Amino acid sequence: MKKRIISLILAIVTAASALSCAAFAGSDEISEAEEAISGIIAYELQASGAADIQDWIDASLTENAGKSSEWFAIALAQDDTENADLTGYRNALEKYIAETDVRSATSRMKNALALLAVSGSRQLADEAAESSVGEQGVMSLIYGLHLLNNGCSCTKYTVSSLTDELLSMQFDDGGWAIMGENGDIDVTAMAVQALAPQYDTSDPVRSSVDKALGFLSAKQQDDGGYVSFGTPNPESAAQVLIAVSAVGLNVTDPRFIKNGSSLIDGILKYRLDDGSFCHSEGGDTNDTATVQALLSLEAYVLMQRSGKRLYDMPREEVPITSEPEQTTAAVSPSAVQPVTIAASDEQLPQAQTSGSYKPAAYCITAAAAIIACIILFMLKKRRVSNFIAVVIIAGLASAFIFFTDFRSSEDYYSSSSVHKENAIGTVTMTVRCDTLIGKSSSEYVPDNGIILDTTSFEIAEGDTVYDILTEAAKKYNIQLQVNGNYIAGIAYLYEYDYGDLSGWIYHVNGDSPFVMCSDYKLSDGDVIEWLYTCELGNDLTTDQQ
């Protein structure tokens, strides 16, 4: 009997210890998340030149209301520790929604979600739901369910009917996707986020979500992160963290621990020294990666601290101000630095050449050094250390000249063809934005949608899609915006310009490869297409699919 009692006591102590360790581990993860959140906020303040969070809200976020501030606004609205006053942003967003014809259904609903987060006009949110739910495939159902979960009305759907339709679109592998027959990590995670409020009350939803969580668990990598389209990135892990948090799970849940690494580990490995996040390891700051990391970490802390989901919005409403423009009129344009979606323009890869300006630059440097020495001599500052300092400065200037190569656009872009002695064949490439015809009045959208008509290029062994695109950009004077080897913009048309699902994708021989363009090695006869899509490829014509 005594042995049984002792065994029972040991079992209780062991279980208590395990729970204590799990709670401690969760606490560590929360602290890590909060530290990373603080780092992101500090980075955004520094990047925008804002003195504090309120200054950032009243300047950059308010100036970009409806265009690029919404995820930041949602994160700040849900973070009770910041005590941020989002009145100016709310008024600017209401004004933008009321006056702007936003063509993308998902963009209209994203704006509506942000409006709900800051207790804005429910009438405007209802109008967005009415005009948008179900109008843009599965993503418009997901966004729509978020709106209806938060009390918005829509004559075409109820929460129940919208849920049923979303459940009917789940694939056998447990996932959802915009196109194809296999689940996509991001879309699946976002579907779970929308279904989460019914997880504890609906058996069909619980069954569906558990199946989706199994899919997401199986796709998780050994470092705790995820790979999408062949590239490890923090954005996919961020969406999964929001989904896991939405159903009340801790990141210590064994289904989302791989090789000792959690979802938060999978996100934080992309954190840079300045607090921002990159899209791929070794890359520069990426605004999308940064804001999605912020959202996911906020979602996790919010659930662990208060049991609230990221997309559980307040139900109170502040009436629309009669003159919303007054909140932004005092903002000096020079003080506003918009938060952009893509990274800054990077110079395309190029060989180091000795530009014609360099000999003259060396001469100017030498002459300046000689003049400085003469002035020192005349002023009787004849200490040897003074002359040594001049020589050192001149040497540093010369080194700077040697290791840099400044060229004008005329020097950089060249209309001459690149002949490759070791060519193994030719490929063709075209760049098109047909999906924007009739949707945009931008001067950068050609009437026929053709930015580069079908053109032949020689290829050498190992040449990639990225190599040919940059070669074409140089030859035909096509602007590129790149982040690492990720193509964020071509010919001044950028990702997210026409909604959350818009951007550039490439096809080779009619297929969309699941690898970065810098990793796809070309073969003789390959046909490359760069295509602008507003719906992650779902809006491309049959011959472009």
Percent of the chain with pLDDT over 90: 52
Q: How far apart are CA 287 and CA 284, in angstroms?
A: 10
Q: What is the pLDDT of residue 372?
A: 84
The residues, ordered by sequence, that sit 6+ positions from 414 with a Cβ below 8 Å of its Cβ are 474, 475
pLDDT of residue 389: 85
Give pLDDT, residue 317.
65
Distance of alpha carbon 366 from alpha carbon 417, whole angstroms: 38
pLDDT at 405 exceeding the cut of 60? no
Higher pLDDT, 433 or 340: 433
Counts for the chain of helices (H) and strands (E), in that order:
19, 9
Per-residue pLDDT reduced to its tens digit, 460-512: 888 889 889 989 998 898 988 876 557 888 998 988 788 777 889 999 998 88
Q: Which two tokens mark 171?
A: 């694939």
Higher per-residue pLDDT: 359 or 48: 48
Q: Which residue has the higher pLDDT, 266 or 538?
A: 266
Q: What is the mean pLDDT of residues 70-89?
A: 90
**Cα 248 to the center of its chain, rounded Å:** 25
Residue with tokens 């719906």: 535
User: Rounded CA gap, 61 and 48, in Å?
Assistant: 10
Residues 6 or more apart from 46 whose CB is under 8 A from it?
Answer: 274
Distance CA 220, CA 171 (A): 18
At residue 81 the predicted structure's pLDDT band, cuts being 50, 70 and 90, is: confident
Q: What residues form DSSP beta bridges with 531?
A: 432, 505
pLDDT at 319: 59
Lowest mean pLDDT among 36-40, 159-163, 382-386: 382-386
Least confident of 29-38, 158-167, 215-224, 483-492: 483-492
Q: How far is it, in rounded angstroms, from Cα 416 to Cα 384?
A: 53
Rounded Cα distance between 311 and 360, Å, is 61
Q: Which of 164-173, 337-346, 511-520 has the highest mean pLDDT?
A: 164-173
Q: How far is CA 327 from CA 12, 114, 336, in A?
A: 60, 18, 14
Choose among 510, 509, 474, 496: nearest CA to 107: 496
CA distances from 501 to 64, 187, 248, 351, 385 (A): 19, 11, 28, 35, 62
Q: Find the distance separating the first CA and the last CA of the chain, reported in whole Å.
A: 73
H or E element at residue 481: strand 480-483
pLDDT at 274: 96
Cβ proximity of 10 and 274 under 8 Å = no
pLDDT tens per residue, range 95-110? 999 998 887 788 899 9
As a residue count, the chain comes to 545
Q: Give ∠ CA 307-128-245 in degrees, rounded to 5.
A: 20
pLDDT at 123: 94
In whole angstroms, give the CA distance from residue 257 to residue 244: 12
pLDDT number for residue 357? 58
Amino acid at 332: S
Contact present, 166 and 195 (Cβ < 8 Å): yes
Least-confidence region, from 123-137, 258-272, 359-373, 428-442: 359-373
pLDDT of residue 152: 95
> Between β-strands 423-432 and 527-533, what pairing exists: parallel, antiparallel or unpaired?
parallel
CA angle 63, 68, 73 (to 5 degrees): 80
Report how far residue 31's alpha carbon sits from residue 39's, in angstroms, rounded to the nearest whole number: 12
| Topology, domain 416-544 | Ferric Hydroxamate Uptake Protein; Chain A, domain 1 (2.170.130)
Residue 27: per-residue pLDDT: 65
pLDDT score, position 386: 80
Higher pLDDT, 247 or 179: 247
Give the whole-number percent of the chain exceeding pLDDT 70. Answer: 81
Backbone angles phi, psi at 368, to 5 degrees: -65, -40
The per-residue pLDDT for range 275-325, each reduced to its tens digit, is: 999 988 888 898 889 999 999 999 999 999 999 999 999 866 665 554 444
Query: Is residue 69 helix, strand or coil?
Result: coil
For the segment 126-139, the average pLDDT, to the nearest whole number, is 90
| Radius of gyration in angstroms for the set of CA atoms belonging to the chain, rounded to a whole number | 28
- For the chain, percent helix, then strand, then coil, each to nearest 5? 50, 10, 40
CB 264 within 8 A of CB 241: yes
